[in-house]
A and B are shown apart, each in its own frame.
Chain A
Amino acid sequence: MTDKLEKLEELFGSQDVTPRKEAKAEAFSAAIQAFELEKSSEYFQGNESGVRLNQQGGEMKPLSKWRRMMNALNSRFTYGLMGSASVAVLALVVVGPNMTDCCVMMSPANQNNGLIRLQSKRKRLQKRQFVRRCKP
């Protein structure tokens, strides 16, 4: 059983695994071409890595205004929003307001009642004014 493994090892050892020079050169030139292409595609994208490459080359090409603004705002905005939301939730938990009043006030039935009350108040006022006018 181990004989075969040893044979395999031996044959692997005796195998000529030196690459051909032409194949190597061809692979190198193709790889370098791909590398340059990759580099230039990043340059034209104008993303963060693009800027890094430009800095390496000694020339600075700034990002577009929109991109710069997003870079500056993105994290601040997200963290700000998350922070204020969590503070609000914490405040609600601490204060523990009675939300049922809000719900009652906001309900359509309550809104109708308010309207009716307003109308009756107006009627009462009109009646009182009429009585005052009629008084000698």
Chain B
Amino acid sequence: MGERSKKVDCELSSDQQEKALALLAAKGDGDAFRRLLEHHYDMMFRVAYRFCGHREEAEDIAQDVCVSLPKRLKSFNGDAAFSTWLYRVVVNACKDASRKKVTRQRLYSDYAEVDMLRREAAHDEHIQMEWLRNTMMDLPEDLRDVAVLVVGEGMSHAQAADVMNVKEGTISWRVSELKKALRRLAEETA
């Protein structure tokens, strides 16, 4: 089976190669699965980190995605590029994690200790990065997706639209909304 996934390397372009690897992994090829992880783990972590702003949390999200991947791969039918599909999975996982986090924060908001720890961490971090994190956290969820994909990952509007399963026009509109939101936030902080 490993031989089959190596053969895939020689014969196909990178997009087709990934698709073929994903389909092989979905059929139970361990070698193909390992190679997919190696290719994409960094991207999973990067998107998660940019989305949530915490290293540990991003590691947790990336790990969750990796663990759920064997099951999810069965729903990959090869219609879109594998990386587009995986971006979608990661962005959804980030959204889920952020919703859970909001619930958790509501649960623990009474604990002054948590707040103190957070303040200490903020003090240690670089001010610019703190601004980035706060700005990202203040943005609505859909604008945060766009910020990560278009600004962070450098995707075109069309690519981001593919990942988020919306029209390209929606992404363009969200980018303009993002600009407005950033201006509003800047005014508020000033």
Contact = CB atoms under 8 A, between A and B. Distances in A.
B132 interface: yes
Contacts of B151: 5, 8-9, 12
Given A11-B129, A19-B41, A56-B27, A1 B182 contact: yes
A26 B66 CA distance: 10
A45 to B, nearest CB: 13
Contacts of A9: 151-152
Interface string A22-42: 011011101110111111001
Contacts of B183: 1, 4
A92 interface: no
Interface of A: 1-2, 4-5, 8-9, 11-12, 14-15, 17-20, 23-24, 26-28, 30-32, 34-39, 42, 49, 52-53, 56
Given A17-B46, A23-B63, A56-B1, 11 more contacts: A4-B179, A17-B49, A19-B45, A23-B59, A24-B45, A34-B66, A34-B69, A35-B25, A38-B71, A39-B30, A56-B27
11 contacts: A2-B179, A15-B129, A20-B55, A31-B37, A31-B67, A34-B68, A35-B30, A38-B70, A39-B30, A53-B27, A56-B27
